[in-house]
Structure 1
Amino acid sequence: MSLSFLLAANHLQITYYTLLTLLIFGIGFLVQCVREKDFQHLWRSISLAMLAGALGISTNAVNLLTTYEYSKRTIRGGSQLADAKTAVTQTGLSKDYALSYSVYKTEPLVMMFPRLYGGSSFGLEVAETDSKAIAALQQMPQELAQQIQGALRFYWGGIDGVGTSGPPYVGAVICFLALMGLAWVDKKHTGWMLAAIVLTLFMSWGKYFEAFNVGLLKFLPFYAKFRAPSMILVIPTFLLCCLAALSLEKVFASPDKSLLWETFKKKAWWPVAGVFAAALLLYFSADFSNDTDKMLLQNVAAITDPAQKATIEAPVRAFVAGLQEDRKSLFWGDLVRSLLFCSLAAGVLYAALKTKINPIGLVAGLGVLVLVDVFGINANYLSSKNFIDAEENNQAFVPSAADTQILRDTGYYRVLNLTQGIEGAFNAGAITAYFHRSVGGYHPAKLSLYQDLIEKQLYKFPNCLPVLNMLNTKYLILPNPQTNQPTVQENTNALGAAWLVKGIRTAQGPSAVMQALDQFNPADTAIVDAALAARIQFKGGRDSLANINLVYNHNDEIVYQSSAAAPQFAVFSEVYYDAGWTATIDGKEAKILPVNYVLRGLDLPAGNHRIVFRFEPRSYQLGNKAAMASSALIWLLLLGALFSSWRQKKQA
């Protein structure tokens, strides 16, 4: 049931990390059973785990099968145009893309010392009146301060380029209890937990432990489909909490507290001391700078005008030095803070082990410490300041004057929003899709065909007008040069939902097809991979009276009507996707062909015809049957268990 709910949450990366952790747990359990020669328990557990796993997976078969089918056609599954410049390979994400969002090797210490690496990239971690960096900014000429204030980032960790909104803080008290537990919790628990924590820490280092993690990308199944190694820190976060709970359980369950006290005095505190020693070593050896600081200083050093350099260099260096001092003060402050909480937790534990307080007092004391500790940090990153009331939130959904102007057109077309530039159109600005059918938008697992088109063609805007025309881009939203407000530019060459071409042009392979899009007239020509040319019956020539029109588009069903005196070839301004889309002409199945690299094409016979595209993926149908069957089996097992329990009570 737990696996079923986990899969239903549909965060496959977290599911993957969870299953990896369960695998380590399973190996630990296997070793323990083999050592104890408890094979009967082992086989029973394996059988039940396999049954539970099969039921959990099959109840989510619809989601899993369709996602797996889709993933093979996305950037997570690779690209047929993969090269050294792209973020994908032919089989998945490139090394650099997959290992982005990696943390430094010492950065996991933030689980115990939250602002060891500055905390957040975007928040004001140091009070304005106490910040040396802000003081340096205030002493600069205003124009210079405005230029470099974007470098005011207190975070200086491994993901500095993109930044972070806060540390994955577990809590000083929780970490203290977990580290203490290494000495007195049963080895059957600590062994696999420690192995899982160490492995996931190695994985979180990503590009900073490249030799290890590149090997995982190559050999660990499906691992290359994910990015952001830092996300795996959720596993040590969870396991540290579990270890802390087991540590407390040991204190509660131990009949002889004096033995635990002896362990506490002799060796339990060593792991805690080791972590504090590592933090101190980092404090005295770090330079407290990040890549942004270094780039800023390099830019100043590259200034060739002596007078300009003399004016800028000293204030900029003072700013960077102030920023480093601010980070240093954050580091030391949290080091002292965590030491205080650990000391208080040690005091509560001492009182419990010396039986000066009862278990309720122990739970109450540590509970208050954990609450104050964790909430005190979490409130810095999620507080009432982050609350957005409904009225303010709804302002995002008020159409601009440009949106209102476009919405007067009730036809079928697409819109490209360029108010944040061409790259911003495909990495931001999701609100465009709220009002219009958008050419742009962001998704971390885009279809590789469309991502290829973005990188090879659309990023060349405005030198990609043929591609915009074939995508039926009727309106562009551009910033007004004077007011910077969104304005509308109509593209009268947009080709509509579908059109008939005069001829077919072939190209040798996907790369050649993409290159051919640089210079062609999509209204007259369809570009097809030469390997598919034999499947096209159209011989060229367009009936001047022939036409094709969209009847309706209901997402999963799209209907067109065509009329021609001779056979024609139609291009449809819809992305080609071979997993589930079918086409019929007057009820007879027709083969959809990929044209213009990313669109759909169909041979049309002479006459009047009704063309219907339907999305009916077999993966959905199979998954639905499996989910229904497994759900029924779960209900039967549940009813059987209830009946068995009722029968036993009746017999008793």
Structure 2
Amino acid sequence: MNNWFKRNGIHLAIIGIFIALCFVYFSPALQGKALYQSDVLMAQGMQKEIMDFKAKDGKGPLWTNSMFGGMPAFQIWVQYPNNVTTYVISFFKTVFPNPIDTVLLYLLGAYLLFCVLRMNPWLAAAGAIAFAFSSYNFQIIDAGHSNKAMAIAFFPPILAGIILTFRRQYLLGAVLTALFLAIEIRTNHIQMTYYLFIALLIYVGIELYHALKSKTSKDFIKSFSYLAAASVLAVAVNAGMLWTTYEYSTETIRGKSNLTTDKSEPNNGLDRDYAYQWSQGVGESLTFLVPNVYGGASGPNLDEKSEVAKTLAAKGIPAEQLLPAMQQLAQVGLTTYWGDKQFTSGPWYFGAIICFLFILGLFIVKNRIKWWILSASILCLLLSFGRHLPFLSDLFFNYFPLYNKFRAVESILVIVGFLMPVLAILAVKEVAFHTEEPKKLQKNLLYSLYITGGLLIILIALPTAFLSFKTQNHGQFIEQLTQITNGDKGFADSIAEALVKDRISLARMDALRSLLFVLIGAGLVWALIRKKMNPQFVFIALAVVVLVDLWSIDRRYLNNEKFVDKNVLAQQFKPRDVDQLIMRDQSYYRVLDLSQGNPFSNSVPSYFHKSLGGYHAAKLKRYQEVLDKQFNGAINEDVLDMLNTKYLITADQNGQKETMKNRSTAAGHAWFVQKVEYVKNADEEMMAISSFDPKNVMVVDEKFKSLIDVSKVGYDGNGFIRLITYHPDHLTYEYSSGRDALAVFSEMWYEKGWNAYVDGEKIPYFRADYILRAAQLPGGNHKLEFKFEPTSYYTGETISLIASILLLLSLGYAIWMEVKRKEIQA
């Protein structure tokens, strides 16, 4: 044991430093404070009903009725208890407070990769810091994109396992790949995993090319076979999650359109304009090197010393009113950010030193991994441009499998942010243990310095030579300023001119800052080449300066001010008077809250009510189509009735006072109808519900006609049907009818899991009114149950259990074999 500590002491020390860095950066978390994350708060609204039933039953339901009239919980919160990786993630979340757990995983995973690349431990630590503290990795934590952050954290260890496998450490490499890929998939951010897959596909292609070239195809086939088996195992471990996700995705806005008359609806996948909304501006790629070259984050980022403040002060605005005035003007475009995105949380800053070393790596690294990094980075960079490079983006969007399922194409830059530090650190390793002549290395060092330093000098001396520092709608911005200043065009022009000056100043200051770090990095590399310093000292110094560089930028976007007392977060879900009044009603109903902006982008009402609104990127397609057709402009009252919308919340013009309307026409949770109106397709069905009486008529697609026996059906005016017990995925009704009756249920249609039972016997049911469930019920007094029993979940969980056991056994065997191998070598 003592020998083990002696051999691994430096690794343990570095891990200890990583833990310390995380606790120092997020010190408020140790004081009992919590990070204010908007998406996490929205998630609490989404999950409230699920968590309430989890606390009651010991397990969460697979369906929730708190959002969008009802939807599967698969992409909100589901346990997947048979998946071993669930417990790995839970361990880190239990031991380390949020978001320390995520950043620590960033560091540990990257450190493993750099060790596998045979780096000196301190150089590996520098690489881990460069990857972990990349600005985007912290911005998504700030926004609350926890799943995305966790998915990114497992990029490096997956690559580490793949590299080991191609190095002929077949078993260990494959098992590590299976383990980390399984955890990656379990983080449940398929978009990030998909982008990693694109990059790894290129890596495998390059390995195949070199195997054919060096006539080692047998080794490649063996490695590839192990990796294929590892991938299958990782997928099997997540069978329950992947199966339900795939099944659900086909029914969401990412699936095929049901309507044919609306040409704007995509046939499959997301709408192109929606997917390209967040495209990286071509010029904004300069932020990799200079964080504020495009103004940083959106919003009022100017202080009293800014040119805009001076302009306002010269017009007579008092000093104490300058900040409020600039905040008000920010609503019409007074923001330092001037890129093409609707808004941004900050730049993609990879570090000035890392960019410099990346360029150096292109010159001096001989390993074939360089060509993979270069090709994958270029492809991902070009794809991130989205609408700015439509030829390539449309090619992938239209023809590359699943690519059109994802939005915010700029997110693919996570691959560039992952790969750039790898080549940068490989460059330092090449310098430290070089075989080339020092003169040649110095020459390449100068070339790299000329490229990065020269670009920075241009940005400092002549920033407007290539950049305008004006948004595309700069003219419209001046017009709005003119209106606000009561037609004073000269004043409006002076404000706009001052804003441009502030943007230029920000760019210059950060360019100068980056130049300083580039010179420090070049100095450390020169010292390595000339052997002026001990390599170990250089590696430690490099880790420190990279940390200082990235840490200071991260602090602009994620700092102590973002932490608040937990009771402050609790206040975000404090019920208003109207909420408390509505919650007195213990019956089953839905609420549409129009008092807090767009109800379909807000999950706060879902915290208190079964809401027609909500917040989720994967709504059911049919529900979205109803929103587009029946809620766009005037709200269709008939549709509100069929959705059992008993309460409507509105606010006055100032948004200060909320009022509640009790809608007596709501149809209820279930009802019998007198008449069936058949339609030929979804278009006619949508048209039919535009104006109809949902309490008396059900609109049914002809394809369900065989499920209705008109010879048995009759309307019993004295009949009734009522909900007697409620559980999100188990609804129990009792009913009475003298004859077979047609019943409509104010519940979302989702055929992949819901089953209907009368007195325990399974019966067929069908879709009515475009999005609701309906059934022909046998006459008499009976108990009816709707149970959500998706095969994809339950069978998938069985597969997950078997695969999890195999993964654990394989991991144990691989570790035993590795220990045995080292004992033999010793």
TM-score, length of structure 2 as denominator length: 0.73
Structure showing greater relative contact order (alpha-carbon pairs closer than 8 Å, 6 or more residues apart): 2
Take 1:300 and 1:508, find their aligned partners in 2: how far apart are those partners?
A: 54
Counterpart residue number, 2:275:
98
Counterpart residue number, 1:79:
257
Q: Is the CA contact 2:456–2:514 (under 8 Å) kept in the aligned structure 1?
A: no
1:48 to 217, 221, 226: 226
Counterpart residue number, 1:413:
589
CA-CA distance at 1:187 after TM superposition = 4.3
Q: Is the CA contact 1:78–1:93 (under 8 Å) kept in the aligned structure 2?
A: no
CA-CA distance at 1:643 after TM superposition = 5.3
Counterpart residue number, 1:272:
452
Counterpart residue number, 2:337:
155
CA-CA distance at 1:276 after TM superposition = 4.3
Matched, 1:122 2:294: no
CA-CA distance at 1:564 after TM superposition = 0.4
Seen in structure 2, the aligned counterparts of structure 1 residues 313 and 584 have a Cα distance that, compared at 3 Å, is same
CA-CA distance at 1:227 after TM superposition = 0.8
Q: Is the CA contact 2:765–2:775 (under 8 Å) kept in the aligned structure 1?
A: yes
Counterpart residue number, 1:286:
467
Matched, 1:485 2:657: yes
Matched, 1:445 2:618: yes
2:517 to 341, 346, 351: 341
CA-CA distance at 1:98 after TM superposition = 1.4
Task: Summarize the alignment of residues 8-87 of structure 1 with structure 2, pairs less than 5 Å apart.
Answer: 8-81=186-259, 86=264
Seen in structure 2, the aligned counterparts of structure 1 residues 386 and 648 have a Cα distance that, compared at 3 Å, is closer
CA-CA distance at 1:116 after TM superposition = 1.2
Q: Is the CA contact 1:257–1:353 (under 8 Å) kept in the aligned structure 2?
A: no
Letter in 1 for 2:478: L
CA-CA distance at 1:127 after TM superposition = 2.9
Task: Summarize the alignment of residues 542-553 of structure 1 with structure 2, pairs less than 5 Å apart.
Answer: 542-553=715-726
Matched, 1:378 2:554: yes
Matched, 1:612 2:793: no
Which digits, 9 at most, give the CA deviation of each residue in 1:491-536, with x for residues without a partner?
1111221111111112332122112222111111111123433432
Counterpart residue number, 1:230:
410
Counterpart residue number, 1:499:
671
Take 2:367 and 2:184, find their aligned partners in 1: how far apart are those partners?
A: 28
Matched, 1:202 2:382: yes
Take 1:506 and 1:519, find their aligned partners in 2: how far apart are those partners?
A: 15
- Indicate the SS of the match to 1:505: strand
Q: Is the CA contact 1:560–1:610 (under 8 Å) kept in the aligned structure 2?
A: yes
Task: Summarize the alignment of residues 389-538 of structure 1 with structure 2, pairs less than 5 Å apart.
Answer: 389-421=565-597, 424-428=598-602, 430-461=603-634, 463-480=635-652, 484-538=656-710
Task: Summarize the alignment of residues 118-267 of structure 1 with structure 2, pairs less than 5 Å apart.
Answer: 118-124=295-301, 126-132=302-308, 135-136=311-312, 139=315, 148-150=329-331, 151-159=333-341, 161=342, 163-254=343-434, 258=438, 261-265=441-445, 267=447
Take 1:89 and 1:583, find their aligned partners in 2: how far apart are those partners?
A: 33
Structure 2 regions of 5+ residues with no counterpart?
1-178
Take 1:17 and 1:344, find their aligned partners in 2: how far apart are those partners?
A: 33
Q: Is the CA contact 1:59–1:626 (under 8 Å) kept in the aligned structure 2?
A: yes
Seen in structure 2, the aligned counterparts of structure 1 residues 123 and 313 have a Cα distance that, compared at 3 Å, is closer
Which digits, 9 at most, give the CA deviation of each residue in 1:421-448, with x for residues without a partner?
4xx11112x1111111111012111100
Counterpart residue number, 2:476:
295
CA-CA distance at 1:630 after TM superposition = 1.5
Letter in 1 for 2:336: F
Structure 1 regions of 5+ residues with no counterpart?
none
Task: Among all aligned residue pairs of Structure 1 and Structure 2, give the percentage whose two residues are the same amino acid.
Answer: 34
CA-CA distance at 1:270 after TM superposition = 5.3
CA-CA distance at 1:148 after TM superposition = 4.0
Q: Is the CA contact 2:459–2:508 (under 8 Å) kept in the aligned structure 1?
A: no
Which digits, 9 at most, give the CA deviation of each residue in 1:74-112, with x for residues without a partner?
0011321266675x4121112111111001112122111
Seen in structure 2, the aligned counterparts of structure 1 residues 645 and 599 have a Cα distance that, compared at 3 Å, is same
Counterpart residue number, 2:122:
none
TM-score, length of structure 1 as denominator length: 0.92
Take 1:289 and 1:266, find their aligned partners in 2: how far apart are those partners?
A: 34
- Indicate the SS of the match to 1:311: coil
Seen in structure 2, the aligned counterparts of structure 1 residues 296 and 345 have a Cα distance that, compared at 3 Å, is same
- Indicate the SS of the match to 2:660: strand
Take 1:360 and 1:180, find their aligned partners in 2: how far apart are those partners?
A: 20
Bigger drift between 215-224 and 319-328 goes to 319-328
CA-CA distance at 1:137 after TM superposition = 8.1
Counterpart residue number, 1:599:
772
**Aligned Cα root-mean-square deviation (Å):** 2.6
CA-CA distance at 1:559 after TM superposition = 1.2
Take 1:183 and 1:193, find their aligned partners in 2: how far apart are those partners?
A: 13
Take 1:346 and 1:10, find their aligned partners in 2: how far apart are those partners?
A: 40
Take 1:527 and 1:282, find their aligned partners in 2: how far apart are those partners?
A: 64
CA-CA distance at 1:631 after TM superposition = 1.6
- Indicate the SS of the match to 1:193: helix
Which digits, 9 at most, give the CA deviation of each residue in 1:605-648, with x for residues without a partner?
21112111111112123322221222222233234345556777
Take 1:164 and 1:232, find their aligned partners in 2: how far apart are those partners?
A: 15
Seen in structure 2, the aligned counterparts of structure 1 residues 384 and 496 have a Cα distance that, compared at 3 Å, is same
Counterpart residue number, 2:741:
568
2:731 to 558, 576, 579: 558
Seen in structure 2, the aligned counterparts of structure 1 residues 140 and 73 have a Cα distance that, compared at 3 Å, is farther
- Indicate the SS of the match to 2:732: strand
CA-CA distance at 1:247 after TM superposition = 1.3
Aligned residues: 639
Q: Is the CA contact 1:83–1:89 (under 8 Å) kept in the aligned structure 2?
A: no
Matched, 1:368 2:544: yes
Bigger drift between 497-506 and 278-287 goes to 278-287
- Indicate the SS of the match to 1:295: helix
Seen in structure 2, the aligned counterparts of structure 1 residues 310 and 644 have a Cα distance that, compared at 3 Å, is closer
2:266 to 89, 94, 97: 89
Take 2:824 and 2:540, find their aligned partners in 1: how far apart are those partners?
A: 44
Seen in structure 2, the aligned counterparts of structure 1 residues 316 and 538 have a Cα distance that, compared at 3 Å, is farther
Which digits, 9 at most, give the CA deviation of each residue in 1:539-585, with x for residues without a partner?
67521110000022212211111100112110001100011111122
Seen in structure 2, the aligned counterparts of structure 1 residues 584 and 145 have a Cα distance that, compared at 3 Å, is same
Take 1:604 and 1:278, find their aligned partners in 2: how far apart are those partners?
A: 77
Take 2:595 and 2:672, find their aligned partners in 1: how far apart are those partners?
A: 33
Matched, 1:638 2:819: no
